[in-house]
Amino acid sequence: MRVNRLLAIVASALAIALAAGLQPAMADPRLIEKLNGEQQAVYKQWRELRAAFDRQNEAYWSAIGSRRAERRRKIGAGERVTHADFVMQHPPKYSGPPLRADIAKLMAELVPPSPDSEITTLGEMLVAAKQHYRFAPGVVAEREFKRRYAMEALAVGLTKDEVTRIYAFETGGRGTFDMQAGINPDTKQGRAISTAMGYAQLLAANSISELAQYGDGFISRLGVMAVRRDTPPERARELTTKIEALRAMLRTARSVPREWSRHVAMSRSPQGYGIHVLNLDADIGPWLQVIKLRGIKDTAEQAGRGQLLPAELELMNLAGPRTGLEMMEPVGRMAPTANFFSQGAYYRNTIVREKTAAELLAAIDQRMNESMLRPGSVEFAAVFDEVGGRGRALAQDGRQKLLPAAAVGPVSALSRVPPAQQPPPPPSHLVPPMPVRSEMPATAVAAPAPIPVERPAATVREPGLRLQWAPAGFGSGLPLGFPE
């Protein structure tokens, strides 16, 4: 019984892979040699039926790509997008017999693993961070990480409902700060299906992008923390070590043009995915993830959507900010989701398949409702209630006190510092002068040389470009602050 179940899983996985675009090529002579006469006849019939479907499927996704390109042209030119700019049918379904499980198993044995299909694990990321940057994330208890995350979120204008419901959707309501997609957060067992990490499930390429844009501000904040009068010497040394690691990571992140495809490529190298463990660090992880979420919300506000439901915010997080906005337009809401995702992403995300944009939005909201009842979400909501008053006070105070309150200790500790007195600037050996860049043009890239990509991929499998952003005044009162 178990053998039959495993064979069925193999056949099902192969069917999904074929639907995602991995079409069968010419019959592999090695496979034919392994098949007996009866199996060869079954395989030949399957190939003929499958080939007809593949032609239909290829034509469908070609039309999707063409119309997406036309919509982008229209949007860029300020022209009106209509129903004619979408494919209003769902992808075709293969209606023939599935490849028999015993043949599928033999076929799978002959297919070598693709380098692009190898997902870097958290253990490999930690080793790379230590090897290339001498960095090990500073960890705290789960509830304390949630507290810091909540303080940061409230201070930049994110709400309890937005953050906790996104957490519930992305992690199933039981995610830990070190959760990687595909790994059970309780047992730590499973197989990584993505580099997505943490409460907001940032990809490794996201971490590189955010660091390249705002690394100066991270270094500045750590520097201020290190020289505070109430910082113990051991803690100051820990922060100084983090600053040195961040400086090295920042040089790596800025060694290539600030383009999504280049950051995806870099994220497949040890130097690149070593940066991703910043999400686990109790000082840096909450900053990194909160800025990412706030950036999505800011994109919506710039587009005239100042009031977003959490599910709408998550739709922008899932599909990409600009694509998410397109899906929420009246004409977009009626279109099948295939219009907004790559072929591979469409079939990998089960919640996306065979829905319109409006139906996907409803499904996201429903999954949020279900996952909000789970222990991690319940705890996160309670933490927000505990820090809510302090978080609002920080936001009303121009966010100047965000740093010490969220990262060092309770707000009451600030009473020892006179309100009018600004923290002394960090020593130059802690915070070296670095250029503030609102954008990194490709022509401005200089040494060090681009990081070699150790895992080349034929196609980029990560989501589309996410806006890089920091809220106005986020680093106000700090020596260097965040670039505006």
Q: Judge whether 328 and 357 are in contact, CB under 8 Å.
A: yes
Residue 335: band (very low, low, confident or very high) from pLDDT cuts 50, 70, 90: very high
Alpha helices in 320-470 (DSSP H): 321-328, 330-333, 343-348, 357-371, 375-396, 402-407
Residue 461 has pLDDT above 90, yes or no: no
**Mean of all residue pLDDT scores within the chain:** 79
**What is the C-alpha to C-alpha distance for residues 195 and 185, in angstroms, rounded to an integer?**
14
Tell me what the mean pLDDT of segment 229-252 comes to.
96
Q: Cα angle vertex 372, ends 409, 312, to 5°?
A: 95
Question: Does the pLDDT at position 89 exceed 90?
Answer: yes
Average pLDDT over residues 382-398: 66
pLDDT at 406 (0 to 100): 37
More confident residue, 350 or 424: 350
Average pLDDT over residues 108-136: 85
pLDDT of residue 114: 58
Q: Please, which pLDDT band fits residue 145 given cuts at 50, 70 and 90?
A: very high
Which residues are CB-neighbours of 453 under 8 A, at least 6 positions away?
265, 266, 268, 269
Q: What is the pLDDT of residue 392?
A: 52
277 vs 12, more confident: 277
CA atoms within 13 A on the CB side of 329: 18
Quick check: 127 pLDDT over 70? yes
| Domain segments of the chain as ranges | 2-112, 122-444
pLDDT, average across residues 447-462: 38
Q: What is the pLDDT of residue 27?
A: 61
Instruction: Please state the length of the chain.
Output: 484
> Which amino acid is it at 332?
G
The count of other CB atoms within 10 Å of the CB of residue 447 is: 6
Cα 200 to Cα 278: distance, rounded to the nearest angstrom: 13
Confidence bin at 109 (pLDDT 50/70/90): confident
Which of 373-382, 386-395, 471-480 shows the lowest per-residue confidence on average (mean pLDDT)?
471-480
Residue 464 scores a pLDDT above 70: no
Work out the average pLDDT over 299-303: 93
Inform me whether the pLDDT recorded for 431 exceeds 70.
no
Give the highest mean pLDDT range of 88-102, 349-363, 413-427: 349-363
- Counting DSSP H helices and E strands in the chain, the numbers are 19, 0
The answer to whether 290 and 296 have CB atoms below 8 angstroms apart is no
- The band of 224, judged by pLDDT with boundaries at 50, 70 and 90, is very high
| pLDDT over 70 at 457, yes or no | no
| Share above pLDDT 90 across residues of the chain, in percent, rounded to a whole number | 59
Tens-digit pLDDT profile for residues 357-383: 999 999 999 999 999 999 999 999 999
Average pLDDT over residues 433-440: 29
pLDDT at 440 over 80: no
Q: With a cut of 50, say whether residue 405 has pLDDT above it.
A: no
Residue 316 banded pLDDT, cuts 50, 70, 90: very high
Q: What is the pLDDT of residues 17-67, one digit of tens each?
A: 555 544 444 567 888 888 888 888 888 889 888 999 999 999 999 999 999
**Can you give the pLDDT at residue 62?**
96
Confidence (pLDDT) at 390: 58
Comparing 465 with 287, which gets the higher pLDDT? 287
Confidence (pLDDT) at 429:
35
